């Protein structure tokens, strides 16, 4: 595994070898849900993007597809050069503006502007150019991880949903009934014509806007598959939160555009479309669970409520394939679970700053940051006097009057709290002035029972008295 220094050195040398000069700087771009790393390298009055990916087969797919699409006149970045070992390459810089960045980004569905709707129509007009026109002559032998979106690929997505969302999210299910339903569902999806290029991750974050025109990236997972999958991915892109009436309008627009490229049975197309919507929503939920629960990247969990809203729409409008009776039971459980409210970010729930205060035990680990902001403050209470060492306090906790009185009487505890509130207060004031929505403050002690609970409660009281903010408090490991 190469270190960050190894990666940046490789990228730096690739640029230097191509342009005969050093870049002005090397700026790392935000990490997303993959192992790929991207960098912006300005120099000579312009800039390029460098990509590093340890999976060579995936790089080969992206490079070959890009060359093919570029030759076909499609709006994709140009490959400038590729390192000899195919671990890194340079492409043209399309900027930072994505289609997603122009959306309202509200939990409540709001009307999209005419400009945004027109952009979606531009995107949907180009999509068949990838799927049908360019897809006819593309080299599918370079596809990674597989050449076809076939029954096995569908089962991978469904099992991704089962193991990384249902199981980890605490949704009960009958394994045999679910497997039977998966098999029936896979057979239904396999009926759709699938001799087209399937972009695979066709969503608003992978569409760049350059002078308000769409450009396309991140198609390295492309393979041969059904047309419906990509349009379902775009229109049911969870956090884009498109009004459902607009989804139908844009689906109709896409179907009419598609008729210029090939003949098809529209009724069957729509039947299979909603099946692909469902499998795409399932796949996305599996990804959110894996990235959020397993890889501890909580920003992905913020998309869970949107995905549940999508499931609820499909369920309420009877768009779940009628033969998948057990899916109805599973989806109803998800809709009625607490997952939607649990993972709604505070920025979507309200327009005020929320200070979230936790107590925890260092034996069990630091609480996860579900806001995606990076964790805020973590204060270690283990240097404070420990009432847990005295027999009369062992069965009590930091909420009990006896423990509160004990710690209130210790001057070092008062100093500790004043210092922590002063430090955290600086961020509270800054966040309020900048319109931020979330700050996390955690207090840890050995057992998560006495000192951390006491400090969390005292800090919550002090912040409430000093600032006009919402304060939520949670005692993660308090056993009492």
The span from the CA of 290 to the CA of 113, in Å, is 33
Tokens 């952009």, located at residue: 119
The span from the CA of 388 to the CA of 409, in Å, is 16
This prediction's pTM: 0.74
Confidence check: pLDDT of 375 > 90: no
Distances, alpha carbon 436 to alpha carbons 68, 318, 352, 432, 462, in Å: 44, 39, 8, 6, 20
- Residue 437 is classified by DSSP as -
Q: What pLDDT, in 10s, does the model give residues 11-26?
A: 999 999 999 999 999 8
The answer to whether 357 and 456 have CB atoms below 8 angstroms apart is yes
Work out the pLDDT band at 480, boundaries 50, 70, 90: low
Give the mean model confidence (pLDDT) for residues 113-126. Answer: 97
DSSP H stretches of helix in 361-450: 401-408, 411-434
Token output for 180: 């039977």
Nearest to 127 by CA among 32, 200, 190: 200
Look at residue 372 in the predicted model and tell me its pLDDT: 56
Distances, alpha carbon 284 to alpha carbons 60, 86, 158, 249, 445, in Å: 25, 29, 10, 23, 37
Domains, the chain: 4-92 (3.30.200.20), 100-342 (3.90.1200.10), 346-475 (no CATH)
Query: How is the chain split among helix, strand and coil, in percent rounded to 5?
Result: 50, 15, 35
Nearest to 220 by CA among 200, 240, 243: 200
Peptide bond into 145 cis (omega under 30): yes
Q: What pLDDT, in 10s, does the model give residues 349-368?
A: 445 788 989 999 999 888 87
Q: What is the dihedral angle through the alpha carbons of 391, 393, 394, 398, rounded to the nearest 10 degrees?
A: -160
Q: What pLDDT, in 10s, does the model give residues 47-103?
A: 999 999 999 999 999 999 999 999 999 999 999 999 999 999 999 999 999 999 999
Confidence check: pLDDT of 347 > 50: no
Largest CA distance in the chain: 82
Confidence check: pLDDT of 333 > 80: yes
Share of the chain above pLDDT 70, in %: 96
Nearest to 103 by CA among 228, 237, 200: 237
Work out the pLDDT band at 302, boundaries 50, 70, 90: confident
Work out the pLDDT band at 346, boundaries 50, 70, 90: very low
Please name the residues in contact with 295: beta carbons below 8 A apart, sequence gap of 6 or more: none
Please name the residues in contact with 163: beta carbons below 8 A apart, sequence gap of 6 or more: 286
Q: What pLDDT, in 10s, does the model give residues 174-228?
A: 999 999 999 999 999 999 999 999 999 999 999 999 999 999 999 999 999 999 9
Confidence check: pLDDT of 320 > 60: yes
The span from the CA of 313 to the CA of 307, in Å, is 10
Q: Strands (DSSP E) along 12-63, which ranges? A: 27-28, 37-43, 46-52
Token output for 401: 């009057």
Give the mean model confidence (pLDDT) for residues 105-133. Answer: 94
Query: Nearest-5° angle of CA 441, CA 464, CA 345?
Result: 50
Query: Nearest-5° angle of CA 160, CA 161, CA 162?
Result: 95
Mean residue pLDDT of the chain comes to: 92
Residue-wise over 306-329: b if at least 16 C-beta within 10 A, else e?
A: bbbbbbbebbeeeebbeebebbee
């Amino acid at each position: 595994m190469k270190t960050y220094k190894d990666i940046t050195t490789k990228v730096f040398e690739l640029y230097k070898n191509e342009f005969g000069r050093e870049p002005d700087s090397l700026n790392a771009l935000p990490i997303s849900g993959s192992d790929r790393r991207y960098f912006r390298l300005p120099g000579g009055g312009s800039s390029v993007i460098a990509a590093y990916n340890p999976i060579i087969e995936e790089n080969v797919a992206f490079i070959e597809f890009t060359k093919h699409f570029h030759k076909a006149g499609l709006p994709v970045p140009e490959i400038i050069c590729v390192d000899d070992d195919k671990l890194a390459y340079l492409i043209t810089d399309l900027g930072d503006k994505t289609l997603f960045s122009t959306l309202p980004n509200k939990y409540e569905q709001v009307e999209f502007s005419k400009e945004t709707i027109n952009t979606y129509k531009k995107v949907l007009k180009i999509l068949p150019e990838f799927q049908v026109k360019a897809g006819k002559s593309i080299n599918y032998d370079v596809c990674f991880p597989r050449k076809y979106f076939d029954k096995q690929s569908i089962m991978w997505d469904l099992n991704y949903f089962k193991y990384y969302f249902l199981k980890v999210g605490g949704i009960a299910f009958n394994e045999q009934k679910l497997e039977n339903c998966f098999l029936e569902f896979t057979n239904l999806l396999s009926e759709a014509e699938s001799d087209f290029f399937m972009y695979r991750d066709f969503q608003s974050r992978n569409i760049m806007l350059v002078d308000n025109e769409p450009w396309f990236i991140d198609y390295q997972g492309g393979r041969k598959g059904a047309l419906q999958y990509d349009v379902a991915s775009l229109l049911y892109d969870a956090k884009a939160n498109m009004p459902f009436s607009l989804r139908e309008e844009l689906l109709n627009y896409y179907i009419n555009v598609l008729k210029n490229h090939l003949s098809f049975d529209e009724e069957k197309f729509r039947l299979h479309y909603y099946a692909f919507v469902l499998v795409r929503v399932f796949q996305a939920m599996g990804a959110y669970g894996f990235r959020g629960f397993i890889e501890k990247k909580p920003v992905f969990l913020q998309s869970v409520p949107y995905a549940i809203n999508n499931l609820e729409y499909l369920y309420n409008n009877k768009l779940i394939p009628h033969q998948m009776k057990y899916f109805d039971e599973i989806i109803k459980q998800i809709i009625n679970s607490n997952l939607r409210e649990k993972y709604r970010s505070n920025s979507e729930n309200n327009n005020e700053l929320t200070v979230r205060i936790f107590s925890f035990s260092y034996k069990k680990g630091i609480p996860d940051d579900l806001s995606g902001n990076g964790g805020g403050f973590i204060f270690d209470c283990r240097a404070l006097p420990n009432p847990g060492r005295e027999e009369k306090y062992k069965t009590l906790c930091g909420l009990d009057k006896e423990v509160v009185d004990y710690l209130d009487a210790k001057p070092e505890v008062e100093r500790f709290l004043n210092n922590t509130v002063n430090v955290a207060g600086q961020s509270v004031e800054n966040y309020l002035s900048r319109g931020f929505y979330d700050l996390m403050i955690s207090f840890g002690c050995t057992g998560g029972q006495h000192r951390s609970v006491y400090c969390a409660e005292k800090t919550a009281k002090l912040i409430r008295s000093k600032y006009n903010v919402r304060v939520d408090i949670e005692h993660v490991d308090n056993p009492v």
